[in-house]
Chain A
Amino acid sequence: METGIRSAAFQTFIEATSGIMNSELQAWKDGGGKVMGFFCTTVPEELFTAAGLAGFRMRGTGSTSTELSDACFSAINCSYPRHTMNQALEGHYDFLDGLVCINSCDHVRRVYDNWIRKLGTPFVKVMSLPRKVGQPQIDWYFDEINKLRKDIEAHFSVEITDESLRQAIRLHNEIRALQKQVYQFRLPDAPLMTGEETLAVMVAGTAIPKPRYKVLLEEFLKDMQSHKETHKGHRARVMIIGGELDDTEFIRVIEEQGALVVTDSTCYGSRLMWRPVDESYDDPVKAMANYYIYDRPSCPRMYGDQPRRIAYTRELAKEFRVDGVIGERLMFCDQWLVEHYMTNDDLKEDGIPFLAIDREYLLSGKGQLRTRVQAFLETIEGLRSEQS
C-alpha cells in the first residue's frame, strides 16, 4: 500500500490486513494464547475476549485458487467462503483453537457443515441467528450467547463471569470509539486519510488480539496528530455500502480514478463500530443480545430493517457530505443484490447517484471496474455542473 502516513502502528495494521497470520497474532500464540476464528459481524466477539481468547474474523486473504474447496462448493457459490475454506484446507488456519460459524447467509453457513467434515479444529460451533429484530429474537439470541458461553467454558476450562464480560464490552466499546475517531479524519474537505488506509485500520482490528489492537490504535491516533498530509483534488466524495469487503486494493482502484471513499456501511467498516454496546444493562449478555440483534446497524439478512438501514446510509451520506454511493456485492449474494436494488430507488429520491458493482472476492476485472467508476464520476460531475 502506498501511504504517506508515518506510523509504526499503521505499518502493523497493513501487515495484519495483507495476510492471515500476522506478527501480533503470532506473538499471542507464542505466548500461549488461544485463537477463536469466527464468521460474520453478528457473532458476539466480546465473549471470546472475556474468555481470554483472541477473536479472528475469517478471511480468504492470500488465496490464489479454490482448487481444494471446489469439492465442497459449486460454481454458483460466493467466492468468499470458497477462498476462505480453501485457505483452511491448505492449512493456513491450523493455528485456530476454535471456530464459531453462524447462519449469516446461504453460502457462509455451509462452511460449518463442510468444516466439521473436513478439518480437525477441536472446537467448532454454529450459532442460530434470527432473521428479525424484535424482542422474541433478542430473547432467542440471548439464549444462544449463553449456550455458546457455556460451551466455551467447558471446552477451554475457563470461567466467563459477568464481570469479565462487562470488562470485555468496555474494551470493545473503547475500540469502537477510537475507530470512530479514525473516521473523523475523513470529514474535512481535504481528509487526512483515504478509504484504502481506513480499511486497513479496520481489518487489522479483526486480526490482532483486542488489548494489543487498542494500544496500537491509540499510538496510531497519536501519530496522526502530527500527520499534515491531506488528500485534495479528488473528483468526488464517495460512500461504499455492501458486505464482506476486506480487500484494500478494491478501494485503491476506486480511489485511483479520482474518487475519495470518505465513509461506508460495510462488514469491515462503520457497521462494526458506529454504535456501542449499551453498558447500562445489569446482565451483560442481555446487552450483547440487544446490540447484535437490534442496536447495531444491520445488514440485509435482517428482515424488516431496511427502513433503518437506508436511514443509516442517509445519515452517513449527509454527515460525510458524499456525492455518490457505490454499492458493492459479491457475486451470487441474493441479499445485497436486492438491497442495492431498493437502495438505488431510495437514493434516487434524494438525488444521490448510486452505482452497483458486482465483484469476486479476489479482485479481478480491474479494467471494467475502472471504466465503471470513471463513468460514475462523470455522472456525478455532470450533475454537479447542472446544479451550479
Chain B
Amino acid sequence: MTIDMKAMKLKGVERYKQERDWFQMGLNACRFMPGEEFKLQAQLLEILLDSKQVVVDCVENDQPFIGGYFCNAPELFHAMNLPWFMLMETPFLAATAPYLLADIEGSEEMGLGTDLCTAIRLPIYYIEKGLMPIPTCVLGLLYPCDGAPMLHQVIEHNKAWKDVPIYCADPPYTSDERAIEYFAEELKRMTEFLEQHTGRTLDLERLKTVCEESNRTYTIWQDYNELRRHVPSPHGWEIGGAQAFAISQCFVAGDPKCTAWFEQLYRVGQMRIERGAGASEAEGWREKIRLFWFDIMPYGWIFEFMPWLESTFGAVIVMDMFGNFPYTLIDTTSEETIFHDLAKRNLIDSPMIRQARGTAENFSNDIRRIVEDYKIDVVIWPGHMGHKDGAATIGIMRDTCREIGVPFLHIGLDLFDKRYTSIDEVKEKVTDFFKGMGLA
C-alpha cells in the first residue's frame, strides 16, 4: 500500500490549526480581561500562537521544522533558526479543548489501554491517526519515564513517519560529571543530526547570543521566584510556574521576547508585593495555606479545581514542580562550556528530568528545599497515573515530609482525564485532609 505523503502532511496539520484557533479564542477573551496578569497571559498566548503559525507555514511551504520533546536544549535549535513543536503539546497546552476526552477514548479503543500515561497515549494516538504535523525530523528524549522511548519507537514504527529521521538523546541515570559529559556528547550528536537533515548549520556566535539571552531569562526567573517567597505569595497557580517553563523551554528559548515576558512577570509580581496584595487580590479571599504542588498542573480540569482550592480554603500553590529549580547559567566561553552547561541544565536542573530520571534524592531534596524556602504548609503529590517512578517514591516523599513536620497528601489521579478520579472525589480527599490536619 502506498501512502500519499502530501495528503498525510496536510491532514496532519488540520488538528494543529484547530488547536491554534482554540488558542486564538483564548487570546481574544484574555484581551478583554482586566489586570496585569491577563496582559501577561495574552502575551504568552501571542507567543504561543506565533510559534504555532510558524509550524503551519512550514508545513504549507515545505520548510524544515522539528517535532521535539522537552529538555532537549532548545537553545540549540533556536540558534539554528529551526521552528519546532512539542510532540506532547496537546495534553499539556490544549487539555481543556473539547475534543480531548474523545481522543482519550479513541486511544483506548486503539489498544493502548488505560494505564499508560495519558500524555504519552495521546501523542501516540495522534501519530497513528494522522492528526499530528509530520515534521522534517524528530528529536526525542529517552527519559523521564518509560513512556518516552515507547512514544519515539511508535514514531519509527508508523508507516507515514517512517522516512522522518529521528534522533533521541539518552540521558544517563547518574548525575555526576561523567554523566554531564556523556549527555553533552549526546547533544553534539543531536546537533550534527539536525545539520544533516535540515540543511541548517549551527553558528557558534549565534549560539552564544542565544545562550546569553537564555541566561538573562533564567536570571529574571530566579529573581521572580524570590518574590514568591513573600507571604502572601504574589501569585498562585495561574501564572509564573508552568507558563514560565513553557515559554522558556518550549516556545522561545533564548529569545528577547521570552526575556521581555519574564521582565514583565517580575514587575507585576513586585507591584503586587508593594501594594501588599496576594494571589487573591481581586477575588476576596486571603492566603491561609501555602501549598507545594509537586507535579504538573492538572491541565485537563484545572479551571474546575484550582479556583475552588483557593476560594474554599485560601490554599495557594506557591510552588509547583515546574516552578523553581536552580538552573545552571550557561558559560559561553567556548563551544565546550556551552554544551557542557546545556547538558547540565537539561539533565539535572529541568523539572521532571531532574526528579524522575535518576535515583530518588531529588524528590526528597526538592521537598526539603522548597518547603523551607517558600514557607510551605502542605506538600501535595497529586499522583498522576503516568508517573510510576514517582508512585514508587511515595514512601520516601512521605517520610521526608514526616521528618520536616509538613503534612503530605497523595491523591491518585489523571492530570488530563477527569474521569480517572472525578473532580468531586479529588475535592473530597483534599477537604478531608485539610480538616484532618486542622487546616480548615
Contact = CB atoms under 8 A, between A and B. Distances in A.
Interface of A: 71-78, 81, 103, 105-107, 109-114, 117, 126-132, 136-137, 140, 143, 300-304, 306, 331-335, 337-339, 341-342, 344-345, 356, 358
12 contacts: A73-B391, A74-B412, A75-B412, A126-B359, A131-B149, A136-B185, A303-B149, A304-B156, A306-B153, A335-B146, A338-B112, A341-B154
B186 interface: yes
A72 B392 CA distance: 6
A249 to B, nearest CB: 24
Interface in B396-415: 396, 399, 410, 412
B170 A130 contact: yes
A81 B388 CA distance: 12
Interface in B99-133: 110-113, 115-117, 120, 124
Name, among B112, B173, B410, the residue most crowded by chain A CB atoms within 10 Å (CB to CB): B173
Interface of B: 110-113, 115-117, 120, 124, 140, 142-143, 145-147, 149-154, 156-157, 168, 170, 172-174, 178-179, 182, 185-186, 189, 356, 359-360, 383, 385, 388-389, 391-396, 399, 410, 412
Nearest to A137: B170
A102 B395 CA distance: 20
A331 B179 CA distance: 32
A128 B395 contact: no
A12 to B, nearest CB: 35
B142 A77 contact: no
Contacts of A107: 388-389, 392
Given A110-B360, A337-B113, A338-B124, A132 B392 contact: no
A200 B151 CA distance: 35
A356 B393 CA distance: 29
Contacts of A128: 172-174, 179
Nearest to B120: A334
Given A73-B391, A77-B391, A112 B412 contact: no
A128 B347 CA distance: 14
B379 to A, nearest CB: 16
A125 to B, nearest CB: 11
A113 B142 contact: no
B394 A73 contact: yes
Contacts of B156: 304, 306
Given A131-B168, A337-B150, 13 more contacts: A78-B388, A105-B146, A107-B388, A114-B395, A117-B396, A131-B170, A136-B182, A136-B186, A303-B153, A303-B168, A304-B156, A306-B156, A334-B120
Contact of B392 (A77, A126, A337, A339): A77
Given A76-B385, A304-B153, A337-B113, A110 B178 contact: no
Nearest to A333: B146
Contacts of A341: 110-112, 154
Contacts of B178: 143
Contact of B395 (A72, A127, A334): A72
Nearest to A342: B157
Given A77-B391, A106-B389, A140 B182 contact: yes
A103 B392 contact: no
Contacts of A143: 178
Nearest to A303: B149
Given A76-B385, A137-B170, A304-B168, A110 B393 contact: yes
A126 B394 contact: no
A106 B145 contact: yes
Nearest to B111: A341
Contacts of B385: 76
Given A103-B173, A113-B360, A131-B170, A76 B115 contact: yes
A302 B394 CA distance: 27
A356 B389 CA distance: 24
A106 B157 contact: no
Contacts of B115: 76, 331-332, 334, 337
A211 to B, nearest CB: 32
Contacts of A109: 173, 389
Contacts of B172: 128, 130, 140
Contacts of A306: 153, 156-157
